[in-house]
Amino acid sequence: MKKMLVSITLWCFASIAIAQHHESTKGINIIPIPVSVQEGMGSFTLLPTATIGYTPTAAVKEIAQQMQQKIARATGFSLAKSKGLSNATIQLQILTKRDTVLGNEGYRLQVTPTAVIIKANEPAGLFYGVQSLWQLLPAAIESKTVVNKMNWKIPEVAILDYPRFVWRGLMFDVARHFFTKQQVENYIDEMAKYKFNILHLHLTDDEGWRIEIKGLPRLTEIGAWNVKKVGYFGTFTPPKPDDPRNYGGFYTQDDIKEMVAYAQKKFVNILPEIDVPGHSLSAIVSYPDLSCTPGANTYHVRSGEEIMDWSHGAPPIALIDNTLCPANPKVYTFLDTVFTQVAKLFPFPYIHVGGDECPKNFWEISPAIHQLMQKEGLKTMEEVQSYFEKRIEKIVESKGKKFMGWDEILEGGLAPNAVVMSWRGMKGGIEAAKMKHRVVMSPTTFAYLDYMQGDSIIEPRVYATLRLNKAYSFEPVPDSVDSKYILGGQANLWTEQVYNTRHLQYMTWPRAFAVSETVWSPKANKNWLDFVNRVEHQFKRLDIEQVKYAPSMYDPIFTATKNAEGGLQIELATEVPNLQIHYSFDNSFPDQFYPVYSTPLTPPEDAVMLKVITYRGNKVMGRMIAMPIKELKKRAGIQ
């Protein structure tokens, strides 16, 4: 009876602490941070005799089996099914009376010295409670093989948790570089651990068409393949006529069905994107009569060579026409076929139709486009695209789906029921929300995972930088809009520069941790220093799981300026606290015995290299960075 009273007391305390600001304690390092955490004094130990009981539905049984498999893999314990729910060591309970606090995805997780109990209104809530439970166990639970002589303790705790937003997305571009079905499913595994619930698959682009469409075989026979090139995407030399076009791939419709079913077991929905009318070179190469431009039959699927002139800003000037023709009836017949099959393959209620970065210089010289403008009373090329988007919306809605596009679909007039995904900052999302349209915020400013994570001298070169602390400052609801129009937020990973899964992981983690906390956790619970501590605990788990991540948050930040005499002054800073920056100018490799940075540096007269590395005490934290003095002078504007 005494234990029961303690349990009830902890549970009630958690219930009234919904709005309480969370301060992480030693044993609780969950990402995303829960709504409320109340830690007890004891702990629960997972033993070989542990049992599992659960509400007898197919969905809950699947969650229980996933638990059994993971526990058996790391601990060797079989976690037998209990004959009854209430006497099981681990209990997964669907509430018979709905808890109005939890909604559809919330949960209550209670750990006592004798039991682990997760309660929720829906199976999704139980699944998310289990994800938090994994993070309460020792990091070794992520091992792919049995770990012997491990004390599998879980701290005594009462957690109340539910998401802030219904839309918690990651976009995975499989068009620029193809990733296999298994690689996509592995990505789903990782994102689901941190309570993301939408995988946005960018399925088509200039570099490849990745989905089988029956009746349009050339899309995958021709449109899915290009020439393999390595280097800096966008600067490649054009392929030679006889270069083999054998790099790429596509998903069969059976592959798609299997991926969708796999994602559903992890409570992840897949949002398909067919990017039109721009970014459509792979479709045009497959079926040249979809273009307004004569000579499209000479085009090839892009392999990373330059096809756009961005020197004048956006939209770009196309060097070849990668747009579908809004004046061509065949385009709408083609898209009706595509969206009919896409709608059947993906049960998620939305279809994303792109709409971004559509060049219009070929439209401007097209007689067919000018005839369309005269017939429909269109005055600008933006209105031509709006005409196209409104027709596509009708096609998408005829399939029983909701129409979604990037914020360029605002230009020239927004389709009546369109949902806007705002990527060019927050402006487009604000404008759409004020027009009472639903919005998903995914701004480059905070949520573009393809950007560099640290200094360009060490990171794979991309045109912009997004550090972890900037990503963590993401707030999807601007003060000027009604929050009911903001569905949530999303991080986007474009893969022009991402060739393999190890680099895919490197670019995703830890910045996706920041976005997951933004879209799941209460705004008031976010705290940068506490988050950094929890990220470091997650790194231990990723190490054991052999998932790659970027250590960029430990690397110094360089600021180069002119001093009063016109010479170079170098300031160094760290993104995370409690680091010492050791440096050298003599071309040797600094360690913890070298000078520690404390005030701005002036390099010796003939020095050619500044080398830096960060430590925490005697432990190396950052990477050795060799920064040429010449580069710093260039940044400072010194000739």
pLDDT in tens, 350-396: 999 999 999 999 999 999 999 999 999 999 999 999 999 999 999 99
pLDDT band for 13, please (50, 70, 90 cuts): very low
The beta strand positions in 252-295, using DSSP E, are: 269-276
- What pLDDT score was predicted for residue 315? 86
Q: Which of 357, 393, 407, 555 is catalytic?
A: 357
Q: Which of 226, 223, 225, 227 lies closest to 287 in space, CA to CA?
A: 223
CA distances from 399 to 225, 280, 316, 393, 395 (A): 29, 22, 32, 10, 7
> In the annotation, is 156 catalytic?
no
- Mean pLDDT, all residues of the chain: 95
The tens digit of pLDDT for each residue in 67-118 reads 999 999 999 999 999 988 989 999 999 999 999 999 999 999 999 999 999 9
**Which domains are present in the chain?**
2-161 (3.30.379.10), 167-545 (3.20.20.80), 555-636 (2.60.40)
Q: pLDDT tens-digit profile of 477-520?
A: 999 999 999 999 999 999 999 999 999 999 999 999 999 999 99
The whole-number pLDDT of residue 312 equals 87
Q: How far, in Å, CA of 169 to CA of 351, rounded?
A: 14
127-170 pLDDT per residue, tens: 999 999 999 999 999 999 999 999 999 999 999 999 999 999 99
624 Cβ partners below 8 Å, 6+ apart? 589, 590, 611, 612, 613
C-alpha span between 163 and 168 (Å, rounded): 9
Asked about 122 being catalytic, the answer comes back as no
**Tens digits of per-residue pLDDT, 557-580?**
999 999 999 999 999 999 999 999
Judged against a pLDDT cut of 70, whether residue 16 lies above it is answered with no
Q: 10 Å Cβ neighbour count for 182?
A: 12
Of the pLDDT bands very low, low, confident and very high (cuts 50, 70, 90), residue 554 is: very high
Q: Please, which residues have CB within 8 angstroms of residue 15's CB and are 6 or more apart in sequence?
A: 101, 160
Model confidence at 8, pLDDT cuts 50, 70, 90, reads very low
Q: Respond yes or no: is residue 205 known to be catalytic.
A: yes
Determine which one of 142, 156, 173, 205 is catalytic: 205
Beta strands in 335-453 (DSSP E): 350-354, 402-406, 419-422, 439-441
Is the pTM here over 0.75, yes or no?
yes
Whether 270 contacts 260, CB under 8 Å:
yes
Q: Which of 267, 378, 283 is nearest to 323 (CA)?
A: 283
Q: Are strands 204-205 and 269-276 parallel, antiparallel or unpaired?
A: unpaired
Query: At 538, which amino acid appears?
Result: Q
pLDDT over 90 percentage in the chain: 94
Show the tokens assigned to 126: 């139980």
Q: What's the N-to-C CA distance of the chain in angstroms? A: 79
What pLDDT sits at residue 3? Answer: 35
Which pLDDT value is given to residue 596?
Answer: 98
Q: Rounded to whole angstroms, how far apart are CA atoms 504 and 355?
A: 25
List 22, 177, 202, 279, catalytic entry: 279
